[in-house]
Copies of this chain bind each other. A is one copy, B any other.
Amino acid sequence: MTTPLDVEAIRKDFPLLEREIHGRRIVFLDSGASSLPPTQVTSAMTRYYESTHANVHRGVYATAEEATARYEAARVGVGRFLGTSAGADEVVFTKNCTESFNLLAKSWGAANLTSHDAVVLTEMEHHANIVPWQQLQQQVGFELRFIPVGDDYQLDLGDLDRLLEGAKLLSVTAMSNVLGTINPLKHLAARAHGAGALIAVDGAQSVPHLPTDVVGDDLDFLCFSAHKLYGPTGIGVLWAKAEHLAAMPAFLGGGGMIKDVRLDGFTAADGTQRFEAGTPPIAEAIGIHAAVDYLQGIGIEAVREHEQALTTYAFEALEAAFGDEVRIHGPGDGPGRGGVLSLTMGDIHAHDLAQVLDQVGVCVRPGHHCAKPLMRRFGLNATARASFGIYNDRDDVDVLVEGLADASRLFG
């Protein structure tokens, strides 16, 4: 099992990994919640603040022009990373993936959905792709339908035609943040379009770990956050086909998103600007741009290969050490899953598991992972989730195994 990444070299870009926790080196297995940014990202932002910072879009002086150009260039760079050359017109910067979904629901949704319509989600969605639709539903009264998840942790597409009947949108995660399940986007897009619906994708977990191709997969909308993509906090993306953006009403109101304001009303601006009210996350746009450049430098295919190999190693190591005592809630090892391992160990609660793991420096996340409907579906209260990133290697998995053994002793 060789890995295509030079992890040792990569780790040097992440100063946090030099930290010790309770006298042990930190083993960061929580990239699924938020990844660490490399120095390339933090220093790009600091350099921006120290050499260029100015508010965008409104100044004619040199730094304001530069800031505007770099902010707009970030759209293009992010667009390329998603597989499109139309980023300038299709990448809207939000504050996080959650705001992106709220924008989608409360702009596109509010304009297009009536009480006769339906939106199709899945049982494995993150709350970010459920609650905004429920909020809109309370106002508009359309139908929310859910594609069920089978005992094999896959979407059960048996009834898809019926579920899509009369639906205007299918909104689905590319990769489950709990199960690791990777969904067949291209197939789902074709099915949605075949039924006359659009397709929105939650790319929070997929964009940082799998190649993305919004054009090739024929998607309509894609939402994700920078902070899971080795970028900064405070910025997310709504990518949408320009034709959809052009037809969507404004979302948040304020400066920057208007053509004109009178005391008795306003006219909204065109293009991506209509959806970016107020001063945008400028330094953070520089940061996400640096992050996609960094990932592109490594190669997202290599990242995927590396994380898949690491997942295989973890499956084997956990099985060898604990047999049935440790359960991985999600599909078996293979190309249909990502590097997210939702673990339970006997009766030990995930919180306690995570607490014991912390003592050996291992960072995993306990809880419902903002996917309560999915947790209920599987009768789970909480799992301890280990998730891999570009800086993880087999040593990290070995320490995870060591910590789980400690927990087994303490609570066994």
Contact = CB atoms under 8 A, between A and B. Distances in A.
A333 interface: no
A39 to B, nearest CB: 8
Contacts of A358: 60-62
Interface string A31-68: 00110110100110110011111110011111110000
A255 B98 contact: yes
Interface string A343-364: 0000000010011011000111
Contact of A282 (B130, B144, B233, B372): B233
Contacts of A257: 131
A365 B57 CA distance: 10
A232 B99 contact: no
Interface stretch (A13-21, A302-310, A319-327): A13-21
Given A98-B278, A278-B225, A363-B59, A266 B131 contact: yes
A198 interface: no
A254 B49 contact: no
Most buried by B among A30, A39, A132, A283: A283
A235 interface: yes
Contact of A95 (B54, B261, B281, B366): B281
Contact of A16 (B50, B254, B376): B50
B21 A372 contact: no
Contacts of A26: 63
A127 B53 contact: no
A365 B58 CA distance: 7
Interface in A198-254: 225, 227, 232-236, 250, 252-254
Number of copies: 2
B61 A263 contact: no
Interface in A62-99: 62-64, 95-99
A277 interface: yes
Contact of A281 (B123, B234, B254, B365): B234
Interface string A125-152: 0111011101100000000101000000
Given A49-B42, A54-B363, A262 B372 contact: yes
Nearest to A62: B21
A312 interface: no
Given A49-B42, A131-B254, A61 B234 contact: no
A280 interface: yes
A10 interface: no
A256 interface: yes
Most buried by B among A63, A257, A373: A63
A22 interface: yes
Given A256-B370, A358-B62, A283 B234 contact: yes
Contact of A61 (B43, B49, B258, B364): B364
B254 A101 contact: yes
A8 interface: no
A340 to B, nearest CB: 14
Interface of A: 15-16, 19, 21-22, 26, 30, 33-34, 36-37, 39, 42-43, 45-46, 49-55, 58-64, 95-99, 101-102, 123, 126-128, 130-132, 134-135, 144, 146, 225, 227, 232-236, 250, 252-258, 260-263, 265-266, 277-284, 351, 354-355, 357-358, 362-367, 370, 372-373, 376
Given A26-B63, A95-B281, A134-B266, 16 more contacts: A30-B64, A34-B53, A61-B362, A63-B363, A98-B278, A102-B277, A127-B261, A130-B261, A134-B265, A227-B282, A233-B234, A234-B234, A254-B370, A260-B372, A263-B373, A284-B284
